[in-house]
Structure 1
Amino acid sequence: MDYQVNYINPEIKLSSYEGKLFKTEAAFEDHFLVWLISGETKIIQADESFIFSAGSTFLIPRNQLATIINYPKDGLPHKAVAMHLSSKRLREFYSNNQLKSKSPTDKIISFEKHPLLESCLNSLIPYFEMQNNFPENIASLKINEAINILRTIDENIDAVLNNFDEPGKIDLVTFMEKNFMFNMPLEKFGYLTGRSLTTFKRDFYKAFNSTPQRWLTRKRLELAHYEIAEKHKKPVDVYFETGFENLSHFSFAFKKQFGYALTRLVSNMQ
């Protein structure tokens, strides 16, 4: 099996992947603290991209749209520990702890190597050998330990972890023009713009005179065409960064949209 996940409990998991790459679109409900043991992770957001190598530790804030691509590297699988920092857990923590900072950020946060953080995450590895009956009180201690260490090494982290605001109603056009390349369910686009699915579809048609599905496909294809024709990228490096599930679906949609095969565009560039 290429992809395997072991859990300490629902909030702490160890993943291992040995295929060519593993891609997911994310707008997590919880903050995600990730420790990359081996392999490489590329995270693409609307404004910037990040590449994390083995030994990196980073936090993906909740409700942030991103494409996450995991690669094996140097003959080793992509292997990572991920810890969910849920709103429920964080509310409990901050009910007993005073805030240190009030300047929130929605950017992915990369942490410098620190012995306290490395020791905490390393200590989780033996627990993955326990298949059942992992004590909840120990899992809670581990998560609280991680939160306390993050607060020790990053004086601004409270503003992120203690922010429990839900997305409010925002300008639909600005948001969609910025984030169309993320292959998310329409319900998630609606939630992130502060709308129900019904209201999202209604407002979308008013704004773009098109259904979301048609508009999203066209915008993604136009971006992919530009990346290939103007930046000379390979189709295999473009399709998963522009919201398509696989290369065959991308090729079919490309020909339907532009009236000629993807291979023709590639051959014209050579």
Structure 2
Amino acid sequence: MEYQVNYINPEIKLSCYEGKLFKTEAAFDDHLLVWLISGETKIIQADESFVFGAGSTFLIPRNQLATIFNYPKDGLPHKAVAMHLSTERLREFYSNTHSTPKSNTGKIIRFKLHPLLESCLASLIPYFEMQQNFPGNIASLKINEAINILRTIDGDIDGVLNNFEEPGKIDLATFMEKNFMFNMPLEKFGYLTGRSLTTFKRDFYNVFHSTPQRWLTKKRLELAHYELAEKNKKPVDIYYEIGFENLSHFSFAFKKQFGYSPSQLLEQKF
């Protein structure tokens, strides 16, 4: 099996991927603490990209759009432990802890190597080998241990974990111009801009005078054209980064939009 996920419980999982590449686009409902055991992970956000190698530990903040690529490397599968730090659990944790929340910048947080954090995450591995259900109270202890360790090694982490604000209504044009390359359901775009799906579609048409689907496709193809023509990138290297699921669909849509295929555009340049 190329991709396998073993669960301790719904909040903790071990994933193992042995194929060439595994891609997902996400705006997680929970903060996600990830320990990369082997392989490589590349995360693309609107303003920044990150590459993590084996041994890295990082936090993906909740409600932040990102495209995530997982690769095997050095003959080893992509193997990672992921721990969900849910709003419900964090509310309970901080109910007896004084800290000041801050505005969530949405940036990926990379943690420096620390023996406490490494030991906590490594201690989870034996539990994945258990065949019976893992006791929920012990899983809770492990998650609370991880939160306490993060607070010990990062003086600013409270401001992120103790922020429980939901997305409010924000400027639609600015958000979409910044995040159009993420292939997310319209419901998610609506939620992240503080709107119901119906309101999102109505406001979108008022702003862009187009349906979301048509506008998103046009913007992604325009970006692809720029990447091909100005940066000499290859179609196979960009289609998945701009919101297309496969190369054939990208090539078909590109030719329909511009009247020539991506390969024909590249041929014209040389």
Structure 2 gaps, min length 5: none
Sequence identity percentage:
83
In the alignment, does 2:113 pair up with 1:113?
yes
In the alignment, which residue of structure 2 is the partner of 1:261? Answer: 261
RMSD: 1.1
**Residue of structure 2 in register with 1:92 after alignment:** 92
Measured after TM superposition, the shift of residue 97 of structure 1 is 1.8
Which moves more between the two structures, 65-74 or 96-105?
96-105
Residue 98 of structure 1 and its aligned partner are, at CA, apart by: 2.1
Closer, same or farther in 2 for the Cα pair 1:104/1:253, shift >3 Å?
closer
Displacement over 3 Å in runs of 4+: 100-105
Do the aligned partners of 2:37 and 2:80 also contact (CA within 8 Å) in 1? yes
Contact 2:40 2:51 in 1 (8 A): yes
- Alignment size in residue pairs: 270
Q: Does 1:126 align with 2:136?
A: no
Task: Output the CA distance in 1 between the equivalents of 2:227 and 2:92.
Answer: 46
1:201 is matched with which residue? 201
Asked if residue 48 in structure 1 is aligned to residue 56 in structure 2, the reply is: no
Inter-partner Cα distance in structure 2 for 1:268 and 1:213: 30
TM-fit CA distance, 1:131? 3.0
The superposition leaves residues 96-145 of structure 1 with CA deviations (integer Å, 9 ceiling, x where unpaired) of 22226646432110000000000000000000011332100000000000
CA-CA distance at 1:265 after TM superposition: 1.3
Secondary structure of 1:203's match?
helix
TM-score, structure 2 normalization: 0.98
2:190 is matched with which residue?
190
Distance (whole Å) between structure 2 residues aligned to residue 228 and residue 59 of structure 1: 33
Equivalents in 2 of 1:241, 1:102: separation in Å?
A: 30
2:215 equivalent in structure 1: 215
**Matching of residues 97-176 of structure 1 within 5 Å:** 97-99=97-99, 102=102, 104-176=104-176
Matching of residues 9-24 of structure 1 within 5 Å:
9-24=9-24
How far apart are the structure 2 equivalents of 1:180 and 1:44? 13
Task: Classify 1:102/1:258 alpha carbon distance in 2 versus 1 (closer, same or farther; 3 Å).
Answer: closer
Partner letter of residue 34 of structure 2?
V
- Tell me, which stretches of 5 or more residues in structure 1 are unaligned? none
TM-score (norm 1): 0.98
Q: Post-superposition shift, 1:268?
A: 2.5
SS in 2 for 1:230: helix
Q: Is the 8 A contact 2:228 2:262 kept in 1?
A: no
* Gap change, CA 1:202 and 1:103, over 3 Å in 2: closer
Does the 8 Å contact 1:22/1:69 carry over to 2?
yes
CA contact (8 A) 2:102 2:163 kept: no
Question: Which deviates the most, 231-240 or 97-106?
Answer: 97-106
Aligned equivalent of 1:25: 25
State how far apart, in whole Å, the 1-side matches of 2:49 and 2:182 are: 13
Match of 1:244 in 2: 244
Q: 1:170 to 1:102 in 2, by over 3 A?
A: closer
Whole-angstrom CA distance in 1 between matches of 2:66 and 2:250: 19
| Letter matched to residue 198 of structure 1 | T
CA distance in 1, matches of 2:204, 2:137: 46
Question: Which AA in structure 2 matches 1:164?
Answer: F
Indicate the residue corresponding to 2:177 in structure 1.
177
